[in-house]
Structure 1
Amino acid sequence: MDDLPDVAWDVLRKAGYNGFFPHQKDAIKRLLSNPDKNFLIRAPTGAGKTLIVSTAIEQHLRNGGGAIYAVPSRKLRKDKVKELAGMLSEGTEISLVGDGNGSKWDSDVVVGTFEGIYRAILSNKGLLTKYSLVVLDDFHTLYEDRRGYELEKLITLLKLSGVRIIALSATIEPVASIADWLDSEVIFTPDEVRPVEIEKNVLVMNTDDAIDWLATNFSSFNPVIVFNYTKLYTESRAKKLAEKLKPLFDVEEVKSVFREKKRDELDEDEEELAYVMSKGVAWHHSEVPDYIKDVIEEWFNEGKLKAIFATTTLAHGINSPTKTVVIMDMYRRWDLIPVHEWLQMASRAGRVGFSEEGAVYTIVRKESDAELVELKYHTGIIEPCESKLGDGDFYRKALLELIYKGLNTSKDIVEFMSNTYYYSQGNNEPTLLETQYGNGMVHDLRANMGLLYENGYIIPSGKGYALTEFGKAVMDFLWRSNIDVPLDEITQMRSVLRGRKEVSNAEALYITIYCISGLRLGINPPKDKVGALIEKVSSFFGGRRVGEAEVITYIILKDWIEGRDLDLMKNDYGKGVYYLRNRAKTIAEALKLFETVAKIEGVRLPRDFKVFIKRVYYGVTAYELPLVELRFFGRKIVHSIYVTLANVPATSKYVEKDEHIGITLKRLLDEVGEARFREIVGSWRIRHLGPKRMGALIKWLRNFDSSTDSARLGINLEDFGYAMGEDLSRWLD
């Protein structure tokens, strides 16, 4: 069969394709005939790069090696495992790794994120004794801030380890410079050989006209992905299109699937999305819960959904049967979107194996922008990629990570940094500190290590450096957390706490939001709700101006942890409160950091602080907390039980004096017995508290020990003597 090795044809047959395209044959020949060389494969999206690299993985496995396959996001891991399983030999063990999921690192092929794999290897360099081939998919992620930073560190570590690297990218420049950094050969496939050609169009019309145009042409355009600048645009435009379409299936079918995934009642926002999906349309962005995203993507691939309105969350790495892509916004505020980003969105259309044709439409509001689209995007001249280590915060975090994981000598640090893309790019301007490692690097290292020392993160130790107690606490937090907090903001938190003897729960929550800007909600409620409180909070911080965002976020969180219904909160604060569910989990993580910093500074916290963190996480009162942690019991169901208990004569007398809901329910169960308990609680008609959940509740109560459970939770009634508003007033007044 031509002059390709048998391994290539074995992979092809397993994948179910009839043959290779010419560009695939050329790439496979080079990969398989040079099994020890690094390669950068630059080919358009849809050109079958995964099939190409699978032949190299299969060859590597047959020679006794193992392979790592790295992707940008956790969401893409499962898709890639499934895709590889359809190409590699039967019996090949493929596992997910990284991100603390506890999966096996002894499989034939492991799939993880750039960040997860970097952290695993940095913690245990011995992993690379088995895995001597690493594939880096969506290599153009190097353009992104956080993910690009993680990818650069991973590559640097791989270079020092001497493993083979194969990088796959559709849009990366400058190819020659990046290949030089990777010490790789380049396999370049022109855009013209893309198996499914994309028709490029630009239309001049306003948003409403664009939605009308989509509705009119819907049957010929779908499946379609519509990319939007903001989450708000994503949702509002999806709703507008849905209103112009006929239902495809019963909305109750969608709601039923959502409830099964959520294990709780639906909020108004989720019911609204269910209605839109019944019309064959959905919205998709970072704040949509993962269990709903899974349904949306599954239904889109199955053909149930015909259109997805998305932010750039769907622009990378997802294989779908998309025929048409519509790009609604060519500006990010006042800046044009980068060419590489436009190409990533456009390339979702016309995927091999899913669609035989593809088209992309860019919507603009004026003729001059139409000309700009054709000149800038249709020509496809990609901007050069720059290292993200030029950001001082990223640079200093990289240094802390090295010290944290034992690469703490000057030699270790210089060796690592000298192999980064940052210094490969030529960031070696002459200084007075010339060394064998480059002219500018020693200056950078001295400046950044000096800042880390001054701010209390590191101290000199023997031949190298060590983390202080504060530095270790920060790294413990950053290492286990999914949030990226700038070091300057953590330093500010420590500064605010320094010299204080104690803080309340309210203070802890507000200071955390005040110091860590990424935790704030972008919501604008009526001014009369926040004005006076802003003035008080400003006085606490020495008269400095305090922004509204952190105060508004605090007020909304107060409602959240008191168990207030999100649909009611929407009336006061706007639709953005639905994003609170995800943000609250992040804030709870940040409060754990606050707890550690307070301990280091000798600041006393309330005895119930750990309980308070859980309340922020779940959005419930202390009374409701134990039950909301029970599987199948979500915030809405638990709050409905609480409200009922407080209003039913037989139990209301206990609600105020019982420490939490478990004690009240246990008391009722013991008094009336299981049969009567089922009858009484069933008569409350709490939605979705059916036989399955009722059985789980009774089983939990049967095993419930009020004394040990109260001790485990750390609950003390005296610690709950102040409501959040009163607690805040104590330190504001």
Structure 2
Amino acid sequence: MSEIADLPDDDTEIVDEVMSAHGYESLKETQRLAFEDGILESGNHLLVAETGNGKTLCAEAVTKKHLDREGRVAYLVPSRQLVRDKRESMQEWGSDEYQIHSGPGAYQSGDVIVATFDSFYRAILRDKGSARNLDLVVLDDFHEIYGGFRGPGIEKAIAAAMYEGIELFSMSATLGNPQELADWMDADLTVSPEGREIEIQEEVVNVGPQEKKDALTSFIRSERDKAPFLVFNYAKSWTESRAEAVAKTRIFADVSNRNFLEEMERKSQGELTSTLEDLARMMDAGVAFHHSDLPQDVKVWIVDLYEEGEIKCLFATTTIAYGFDAPVQSVIVADIKRGPEFVGVYEYVQWIGRAARPGYGYDEGYAFTLTDDPAETIERYFEPHRELEPVTTHIENDERFRWLLLELVTTGWDTPHEIEAFVKEMLYWQQMKQVGAWGREHSSRDERLNERLREAADWLLDLEFITEKDTARQFQPTPLGEGTIEFSFNSFSNATLAAIRSFYDWLEDLGTGNLTRLNLVYQTTILADRKIDSSCSDELEGLLQEHELPVDEYGITAGILRWYWVKNLDTREIEKRTDIDGAYISSDARRVADTLDATKYLIDASPEIHRPEWLNIMTFRIERGVRRDEVPLVENIRGVGRHRVRNLREYLDRPDIPGVDQLPDGSLWEKLTAFYDELDNPDFFVDTLDGNVPGIGKRTANRIEEFVSDQSVEDEYLETDDEGVTTVNDEPGSDGGYTRGTSLDDFS
């Protein structure tokens, strides 16, 4: 089937097998060129080709060849969302013969490890699962190396693979300096001349002095036949307000007759906020918005609805700019500037590349860019004028350079020779110039690198992240340095090294005896840089002042989490009592919980501080928004979350439960076990919960019955909390003994 001249028989079989598994009958021009250029031969290769021209098949063929030689392969993608899709694609031809794994343990057991660039870099540093002995690393669509979010991790991952001498197969659609990148990776370069499979018509929409929201609404109304639309917006607030404006026109109201409000309540697990209710009403009009702060289940649902044609106009931030494969006919770039600055050409190319992707039946796609400067926009972004920026190193920045040095020292790359050798595999070394601005001559690259490393090392020494041996040319991490790297590797925090040092100093100044849940949560919101809202009710402001927390965005966030969210108040009640938008509490809470959990590595680094017994359980409570005595049920029973456990509590708190004497005062667990004993009939217990507790159906009730009947707890839920208030059924119990993934035996 492949019909490639001069390809060895074994290689032809490999190509044919991958093609057959995916149902392809012939090769595209790009694929044929790549195979003729020798991508199946040993050595590093870089393939640059437009979207839809078959780069993935090339990568899978290269992967299969290494597997047939009993090699091991890491297949790297930019984001976790893409890991599952890539694994499923390769399982179409490899699942019977090879172990294609992702997630924890993949490096130990997989023939093919599908992972992100960041996780691969960390695996190499620690030689996790013999990662340093891999035979091939595939870099799939690594053009996110452009950006500051994932770019540093991608650059470091490539350097790590090259340091270990692992073969590379790299591919991308958009690179401004492919030859320089090929030189950096010591790779043979193939640049496909094949154009995009489905052409995109690019047009400007001159907004002039008109409000952007009004211009968008008017334009979409006039071009309705070019739906489905995907509209990229700079700010979250604009994403929402523009979606609302288009929804009000109801031009797409006829695309679905589903009850989105009812479905939204289920997707939000009973936490239907005013914002989510507004979103459901927009969806009734065929319009939705999507950004990172929406609940995860809602985000996935919106994408599914768009793919199924139930949503015709999706407003989004750039969180779905990469890897979003859906039936988009038209992309609208609503904001071609961030403030006064134009966005990167590479970003624009990625955004419009979401239009008219192969497999959706479009003969052409459309890209419309709203602008008040049409001539400049056309000249800068449109074919044939546009010129992609070159990819540049990310460790020129002092902060990132220091992080790299600390990562290396902490994971055992502790001599100047090893560190220099690693840095010389970075794009930074490739792009280090001998001649600077206006012809100024620099010292040699080696001398400048040595000076830069010495400066970074001195900074880390001054802040006590590392020490330098007196008897050898070698560095050592301090406990703080080790804790900092563990904190970084186990959280999504973008905290600077200086911020982490400040947090550590705060811990040491405070001492174990003064470390309370409230002050740790407050400091963690700063470290995580999470801000739920800037508005504040009189009630919340009074609480903040009473407990000497600043009435700022971090204080408001900490107060909402500590006094409202973990008390499992209904989100509407939180909105009413605090004057904040409750739609995004869950996403902010999860980010704070993630960072709070990682602070244990910084706490453990101090000889003066002992990790508080309540840290794990407080982390869980913030993540899930539940009270102390609700944790055993939420943690151990599938399908029980904050909404259902709240409904269960409200039912058991009733004074008039038919056929049951008054239940004892105390914890939820005490009431539930007493209720179970009172009924003295498992089937009746299940039927009672199923029929009387909103949200708890037969399956969930059965799980609760199994848990209650198989476990017992002697718990003491009465305690004095951080604020000196004795509580029952509100902040009950000591938080000691709880860890994620425990059974009730651990609570005895």
2:204 to 202, 205, 223: 202
Secondary structure of the structure 1 residue equivalent to 2:568: coil
Q: Distance in 2 between matches of 1:8 and 1:186?
A: 20
Q: CA deviation at 1:472?
A: 2.0
Structure 1, unpaired ranges of 5+ = 541-545, 728-733
Correspondence 1:699 to 2:706: yes
Taking a change above 3 Å as real, the CA distance of residues 83 and 637 of structure 1, as seen in their structure-2 partners, is same
1:605–1:353 CA distance, 2 compared to 1 (3 A): closer
Paired-residue identity, %: 26
1:147 to partner: Cα distance = 1.1
1:525: which partner in 2? 535
Conservation of the 8 A alpha-carbon contact between 1:138 and 1:316? no
Q: Which residue of 2 aligns with 1:340?
A: 346
Matched residue of 2:564: which SS? helix
Q: Which amino acid aligns with 2:516?
A: S
- The CA distance in 1 between the partners of 2:129 and 2:520, in whole Å, is 41
Contact 2:232/2:333 (8 A) holds in 1: yes
SS of residue paired to 2:38: helix
- Whether 1:173 aligns to 2:176 is yes
The residue type equivalent to 1:670 in the other structure is: D
Structure 1: which amino acid aligns with 2:531?
R
How far did 1:652 drift? 11
Amino acid aligned to 1:632: G
Deviations 1:43-97 (A, max 9, x none): 22222221233333333333443332110000011112233344x4673536233
Matched, 1:473 2:483: yes
Partner of 1:441: 449
Partner of 1:102: 105
Deviates more, 1:240-249 or 1:343-352: 240-249
Which whole-Å CA distance do the structure 2 matches of 1:173 and 1:156 have between them? Answer: 20
Deviations 1:127-159 (A, max 9, x none): 357632211112211111131111111111111
- Alpha-carbon distance in 1 for matches of 2:625, 2:76: 35
Alignment match of 2:302 (pick from 286, 290, 296):
296
Tell me by how many angstroms 1:231 deviates: 2.2
Distance 1:413 1:640 in 2: 57
| Displacement of 1:464 | 2.1
1:714-729 → structure 2 map (5 Å cutoff): 717-719=719-721, 722=724
Shift in CA distance, 200/422, structure 1 to aligned 2, threshold 3 Å: same
Change (3 A) 1:723 1:29: farther
CA positional deviation for 1:285: 1.9
1:52 matched residue in structure 2 = 58
Other-structure match for 1:417: 423
Give the partner amino acid of 1:447: E
Partner of 1:287: 293
Give the conservation status (yes or no) of the 8 Å contact 1:287–1:579. Answer: yes
Please give the alpha-carbon distance, in whole angstroms, between the structure 2 residues aligned to 1:60 and 1:37. Answer: 12
Judging changes above 3 Å, is the alpha-carbon distance between structure 1 residues 680 and 362 closer, same or farther for their aligned structure 2 residues?
Answer: same
Partner of 2:386: 380
Return the match for 2:668 from 656, 661, 666: 661
Counterpart of 2:652? 645
Partner residue, 1:75: 81
Q: Counterpart of 2:524?
A: 512
Work out whether residues 265 and 637 of structure 1, in 8 Å CA contact, stay in contact via their aligned partners in 2.
Answer: no
Structure 2 match to 1:224: 229
- Separation in 1 of the partners of 2:597 and 2:474? 29
Identify the residue that residue 731 of structure 1 maps to in structure 2.
none
TM-superposed deviation, 1:177: 2.1
Once the two structures are superposed, what CA deviation does each residue of 1:7-47 show, in whole Å capped at 9, x if it has no partner?
434433433234233333212211346x1232222222222
**Letter paired with 2:175:** I
SS in 1 for 2:63: helix
Contact 1:263 1:632 in 2 (8 A): no
Q: Secondary structure at the match of 1:390?
A: coil
TM-score by length of 2: 0.85
2:558 to 545, 554, 557: 554
* Residue 515 of structure 2 is aligned to residue 503 of structure 1: yes
CA distance in 2, matches of 1:665, 1:89: 49
Write the distance in 2 (CA, Å) between the matches of 1:216 and 1:124. 57
C-alpha distance in structure 1 between counterparts of 2:642 and 2:371, whole Å: 44
For the Cα contact (< 8 Å) 1:494–1:597, is it kept in 2? yes
Offset of 1:596 from its aligned partner? 4.7
Does 2:318 align with 1:317? Answer: no
Equivalent residue of 1:117, what SS?
A: helix
Please show how residues 213-252 of structure 1 align to structure 2 within 5 Å: 213-218=219-224, 220-243=225-248, 244=250, 245-252=252-259
Task: Please identify which structure carries the higher helix content.
Answer: 1
Give me the whole-angstrom Cα distance separating, in 2, the residues matched to 1:560 and 1:303.
Answer: 36
Q: Which amino acid aligns with 2:137?
A: V
Which shows bigger deviation, 422-431 or 234-243?
Answer: 422-431
After superposition, the CA RMSD in angstroms is 3.4
Please name the residue that 2:497 is paired with: 487
Q: CA deviation at 1:678?
A: 4.7
CA distance in 1, matches of 2:261, 2:528: 36
Q: How many residues align?
A: 701
**Which residue of the other structure, out of 140, 144, 155, is the alignment partner of 2:158?**
155
Judge conservation of contact 1:330–1:362 (CA < 8 Å) in 2.
no
Q: How does 1:526-545 map to 2 (within 5 A)?
A: 526=536
> How big is each residue's C-alpha offset from its partner over 1:615-638, in whole Å with a ceiling of 9 and x where there is no partner?
222212223332222321111111
Shift of 1:699: 1.6
Q: 1:185 aligns with which of 188, 191, 194?
A: 188
Matched-pair contact (CA < 8 Å) for 2:126–2:411: yes
Give 1:543's aligned residue: none
Give the Cα–Cα distance (whole angstroms) in 1 for the partners of residues 361 and 112 of structure 2: 29
- Which deviations, in whole Å up to 9, do the C-alpha atoms of 1:418-446 show, x marking residues without a partner? 221112211678999978x6122112211
TM-score, normalising length from structure 1? Answer: 0.87
Given residue 505 of structure 2, which amino acid in structure 1 is its aligned partner? S
Q: Counterpart of 1:509 in 2: which secondary structure?
A: helix
C-alpha distance in structure 2 between counterparts of 1:458 and 1:2, whole Å: 56
